[in-house]
Structures are given as structure tokens and as C-alpha cells.
Chain A
Amino acid sequence: MPTPVEKRVLIDVDRCVECRSCAAACYLSHADMPAVHFARSGWAALPLICRQCKSASCVDACPAEAMVRDESGIVRRRLFRCIGCGSCAKACPFGVLPGATAGQPRAAFTPDRLSGHQIPKCDLCADRTAGGGGVPRCVAACPSGALRYADEHDTEQVPLEIAGRSIGDSPYKRR
């Protein structure tokens, strides 16, 4: 059984300026099916990016064995096995897969260029990050520094602040 990936895409919500550069970079490099989506929360419209869960509900829920953890530990979708049933989206506890996200009509972000029945899924830009040298495109494109490609344990030590007031010590606690 492959071990989950160590590094993930983390967001500092107090830096996101909602420019959607992350979604554009993802869209153009993933066959026009972006794995970055946005959801509105009060004043902010925040990008939703797969957390690469250690215990991935989407893998368990997929009836077509399209959603798998590959040998590098990345939870990814096998394009030609996906039947677009949306089970993974419903199972995702964080709502990062389209179909489960509110705020945009689904057609607006998933043009369904192939068969019309695929669920976009973040693969951490494995073509870039394999070998540990690069970063996912969303992180590279982020102009404000809101997205980081980091080890979860490293960022636990970094206190985060909003408007000068400390509100927690983990990016995960801010969502």
C-alpha cells in the first residue's frame, strides 16, 4: 500500500486576493478540467484544493476504481475509468471536488471536454513535482504567496495572524 504524500498545497486565507490565477494555471494544464474551484465564505471566495487525505473517502466511494492512490502516494483519478457519477464528490468531507461545491453552476467550471463524464481531480502536478524538485502549477502561479507547497508538520509551527491578531497555529484550523 503506497504511503500518502508528505507535501500538500496549503492556503493562507489571509493572503488570497481572489485573482483565480491558481484555477487558470490548473485549467490550462489539465485538459481544460481544473481541479481548483472556488467557494464563497463571507467576505472571501477561497480556492478549494484537494488535501490529499491520508484516508481518502473519494477512493473508498468510487465504484469504478477510477480514484486511486498511485505508487507515489498521490490520490488521483484515472481519466478513462471515471464515469462521472459524482460519488467521490459526495464522499469528500471537504467539498473540494466539483459537484459537491456550491457557489458556481457546475457547467461554468467543468466544460466536460472529453466524454462529459469526468470529475476533475488534483494530481499535485505530478509531472512537475515528481522527484521533489518542483511545485504544483497553482502554487507557482499564485501571485500573492497565499498558496504553499509544504509539509503539514512544518507549517504547524508557523503562527498565523489576521489583521495583527493571532487566530491559530495551523492553516487547517482557519477554514
Chain B
Amino acid sequence: MSSELDVRPGTDRAGRRAGAAAEGRGRGTPASLTRRSSRCTLCPAGCEVQAAGSGPDHWRGEPPNAAGAGLCPRGCCLPELLTDRRRIVSPLRRQDGRLVACDAAAACERIAAAARAGGIVIVLDGNLPVEEMLAAAAWCKAWPAAKLCLAIEPADRELLGGAEAGGAAYLAASELAACDGFLIVGDPFSANPTCSRGIFERRAANPRTPIVAIDPAGGAAAKFASLSVACAPGGEADALAAIAGGTGPAARALADCKKLAVLVAAEFGSTTDLRAVGELAGKVAASRGGGLAVQTVGANALAAVRIEQKLAALSLAAAMGGEVPLVAVGCDVLGMLGWDEGRVLAAAAGLPNATTEAAEVVLPLALSGEVAGTFLLDGAKAVEVGVLLPPPAGVPVPSALVAELARAAGVAAPAQRAATGIALERAEAAPPSAKGAAASARADGPQLLLTRSAMHSGCGSLTGWGSWQAASADLPELRVCPAVAGKLGIENLQVVSVGAGGPAVRARVRVAPETPGGVAVLSDGFPQCRRAVACRLDGGRFVHAAAAAAIASEESRHADAG
């Protein structure tokens, strides 16, 4: 799946100098740029992404040279992240509050000693190739002191758990144009802009195609709906249940569909029962001959959910709620949950994040785009994805790092690992979980909701380092309707502080008429936004309480616009 042109592993700090002069690139004409291509795995769209060598040590992202190839801002920034000058390329340990360079063997021994003392939990990124997850699982199985946990976005995990139980087939983006009706839950257009194309193609062919949206935040997808279901925050499951039961105008609008596509995206901080949403969405799609398109964070969340269940891996909630020290491998688990601290002994990452800031030991790790393997793309089919660029010299892929840690603890290599095929088997239906303790919002302010962002992947701990992301959105955007803005006395582009149970976050106001009244919407692509929405453990799962947004003006737009 990857095409590898003339790149020689190299001599620079990041190991990628490829002899620019010899190859006629560097400052040559654009046609002489070195290009490599693969698929972006930051979301399930799996768009083709090119890395164009722009000088010996710098690569930038390029969309393929074809009309409508599609590459969102996350994919565009991926190649430059791989060669970011802030890459972590050597082990570090914390000394007097600061991170200082240390020996790799000493870092591994520190982790092995903690494992011998009371055990550790290895929290592995859930957006890795299937082979990486299975190899790490095999090492953890052979290492009694280490338990494996796959870090999956809590909202995605719940949603996918329900979707697996719903029984509907998973649709590829290319199949959407052949569907005759669309039911949209959340804002999948922001989660994965590519999925909008098939809907628009179908609508162009038949303008009367029903597009029904259920989105309390009134996001990008809801703007294009032929029918937008009035839905209070947290009421998505009830709205879907009404459609499944055949009652209401939405059910009537979709009644004649012979092949219904249901597109679902889950937002961090949602107070609805996402497992029920996933299951109902699957049942509605299956009952109308269609399928489901779940727009998760990362391309392999579905595989991670299946592997977690089949290998009985520790859930993230259990890992975070326990007393055992954590070793985070490739995931910004604290940023993802909006937590400030946790028992993080070590964090392996490609770029600094909230988890590395809290860790005692920091290890280098390959990033997305540097690890090859199998992903569930194109409608949950196994697709081989090659590397976009090789990792910097000496930087391990996740399974190699776990193996290194296990060897340091004296663990022998595992004889075998589970077959890749287990990621293709549906997860068994899990028992319904207790519904979260969602309290109603206070009457003195709009309810704060988070929404997915096309700019950032997950909590933005990786894509937040992108130069375009940094230049175009220095602050998260707070979207409110004109009525709410007028009531609060805030205006477009004004900088405000927003709080809702957690620490306040600075945001720039966008007064948007499409936003429903009674809500204020922030992007979940910023760790500070996730911190603003309090997330806590309750009964072995993460829950969020609905909370009113406390919005305070900081400055007027005129003071900032100069």
C-alpha cells in the first residue's frame, strides 16, 4: 500500500537525511522533490497521504495530485510531525522536576523494577496496527507482572461496543453514494470530512434523498440535513429509539429507505448512553437494508475493541482506577481523559504531551505513519498500510519497546501470538452498562458540549504540534447561538474563559446561528477543553455530568484583532 521512492535511511538526528544533493532535491524544482505515499491512519477514512521532501531534514504533507482525492488538516500535517524538531528521540528521566537525558538500559530497568515490586499496567495506544497490538499482548501474557490495557477513546469504546451488538454491516465511504437515505448521529462530517462526499453525490443524483440529523450541538453535518431532529443534550439514544420504533417525523422520512446508511460519531463528554446509541444505530441500519459508518478517533478503534474483548485485556477505566503504576505506550492517556495527573510511571511518545509531562520516565516511540501493519478500513476490512516514513534512528515501534521492557525484566520471548484474524471477528454483545450519572444542567447558563474537530485527532496532543493548527487556531472556538451570545453579552471573536465543573479554558467566541439555543460548544481537540468537562470514574466506567457553562469575558475582539 505504500510506495517507497528514493529515500535512504540516514544520517541526521531523525535518521532521514537522504542525500538531497545527490538526488537533485532540496531547493530544486518542485518536480524534483522526493515523495513517499501511504494511507493516513488518524481516522477510518484512510486517505492517501504523500510526504514531500522539502529539504534534507523536513517533509511536508501533500494531497495526491487528483481532484477530490481528499485529505483533511490532520493528514496534511502528519508528515511534518514525523520530522518535527521537538521529537523525543532519546530516553529521559525526571530529576528535580525536570526531564534530563538518561541511559536506555537504566530507563528499562526502572520500569522492570517497578514491575517486580508490585506490577505495572502497559497502556497501549488502541490505534496501532493489529500486529502491533497482538505482539504486545503476547509479551504481556508472558510477563506475569505486566497487564495490558488498550487505550481507546471512552466514547468510541462505548459506541463501538453497541455497534458490534447492533449487527449491522460496516459501510465503506465508497458505498455511501449507493445508499438511498442517511441518518446522522453527532457530527461525523467534522470527525471525518471524507464521509460527506458519498452523501453529496447521492443527493446530487436524487435531491429528495432524506438526510436526517440528530445532533444537539448543531455541527457541520446537521447543516446539510433535510430534517434535523430536535434533541436535547444527552437525548440522542431516545431520539434513535423513536426512529427504531417507527414514531415521529424522522421515522416517517426514512420509512421508504431500502438501503439506509447510518453515520455515527461520538464526542468526549457526551452524557447520552453511547452503547445504546451504537446498538440502536446498528439495528435501524440493519432493519432498512443498510449499514453503519462509525467515525472514530483513529483508524483502528474497532480492531482495538475486538482485541480487548477477545484477549480479555484490562479496560482503561479499570487501569486508571487501580493502584498499579502505568506505562503509557503511544497514547496520551491523561490528555485523552482531561486529567491532570495519574500514576504514570513512564510514557513512550513521539512528541511531548500531557502524559509525558506527568511521567517519571519518558521514552521515544514511533508515531502514526511510521508503523506498518493491518488496519480495519474501508468498511472494517483488513487493509495493509505501509510506513509513510521510517522512524528516526534508534526509535522503536511500540511492540519492540514492550519487548525491550519485558526482556529487561527477564521475560523470555513468547512462543506465539494470537492470529491477526481475531480483529475481523465481531465482538460479543456485552451486558448493558449502568447509565452514567448525568445531572441536568443548571438553569443559569447554557450546557457545555464538546464536539469533534476536523483539525485535530482525538484530544489534539499529536496534531496540536502541526504548524497550520497552531497558526490558524491559537485558541479553541466556543460556538454559541446569537440569543445566548446576546444574553451573556459576548460578541464574535471575543476571548472568554469557559468553565463547567473543571478548570476554566480560554476560548474565542464564534456566534453561529446554526447552534441550538441552550448550549455552548467547544472542540474536544484540545486537552484543556477536555479538562473543562469533568470526567470521573463511576462504577468502572468513565462518566460525565451535564454542566452549565460559566462564561466570563476576558477582552473585547477589538483589543485582540490588531
Q: Measuring CB to CB, which residues of chain A are less than 8 angstroms from any residue of chain B?
A: 14-15, 17-21, 23-25, 27-29, 32, 34, 40, 42-44, 103-106, 108-109, 111, 127-128, 133-135, 137, 139-145, 148-149, 161, 163-165
Contact = CB atoms under 8 A, between A and B. Distances in A.
Given A15-B196, A43-B223, A105-B493, A143 B72 contact: yes
B62 A29 contact: yes
29 contacts: A14-B224, A17-B189, A17-B224, A19-B73, A20-B472, A21-B71, A21-B72, A21-B76, A24-B472, A27-B471, A28-B61, A29-B62, A32-B471, A108-B471, A108-B472, A108-B473, A109-B472, A111-B471, A127-B31, A137-B63, A140-B68, A140-B71, A143-B47, A144-B193, A144-B194, A145-B197, A149-B67, A161-B207, A164-B207
Interface in B65-81: 65-73, 76-77, 80
A105 B510 CA distance: 13
A40 B29 CA distance: 37
B433 to A, nearest CB: 33
Given A19-B189, A43-B512, A143 B468 contact: no
- Most A C-beta atoms less than 10 A away, residue of B62, B68, B72, B77: B68
B70 A109 contact: no
Nearest to A20: B73
Contacts of A42: 513
Q: Which of A17, A18, A149 has the most CB of B within 10 A?
A: A17
Given A24-B77, A40-B512, A104-B493, 18 more contacts: A15-B196, A18-B454, A19-B72, A19-B193, A20-B73, A21-B193, A43-B514, A106-B561, A108-B472, A108-B473, A109-B472, A127-B30, A135-B66, A139-B67, A142-B68, A143-B45, A143-B47, A143-B72
Given A18-B220, A144-B193, A28 B69 contact: no
B71 A143 contact: yes
Interface string B176-199: 000000000000011001101100
B201 interface: yes
B189 A140 contact: no
Contacts of A106: 561
Contacts of A163: 207, 226
Contacts of A135: 65-67
A105 B557 CA distance: 9
A116 to B, nearest CB: 14
A27 B560 contact: no
- Top 7 A-B residue pairs of the complex, sorted by shortest distance between their CB atoms: A24-B73, A19-B454, A127-B30, A143-B70, A164-B207, A19-B193, A140-B63
A134 B68 CA distance: 12
* Residue among A19, A27, A161, A165 with max Cβ neighbours from chain B (10 Å): A19
A95 B450 CA distance: 32
A141 B69 contact: yes
A128 B220 contact: no
Contacts of B63: 25, 137, 140-141
B551 interface: no
A42 to B, nearest CB: 6
Nearest to B31: A127
Contact of A25 (B76, B190, B221, B562): B76
B556 interface: no
A6 to B, nearest CB: 16
A64 B92 CA distance: 52
B70 A23 contact: no
Contacts of B226: 163-164
A108 B201 CA distance: 34
B196 A144 contact: yes
Interface string B447-481: 00000001100000000000110011110000000
B73 A32 contact: no
B208 interface: yes
B60 interface: yes
Contacts of B561: 105-106
A110 to B, nearest CB: 8
Nearest to B471: A111
A28 B467 contact: yes
A161 B202 CA distance: 13
A124 B513 CA distance: 33
A17 to B, nearest CB: 4
Nearest to B72: A21
A140 B136 CA distance: 38
A122 B178 CA distance: 36
A141 B67 contact: no
B193 A28 contact: no
B64 interface: yes
Interface string B190-231: 100110110011001001100000000000110110100000
A81 B226 CA distance: 50
Contacts of A25: 61-63, 71, 76
A143 B65 contact: no
A23 B472 contact: yes
B471 A143 contact: no
Contacts of B560: 105
B1 to A, nearest CB: 19
A134 B80 contact: no
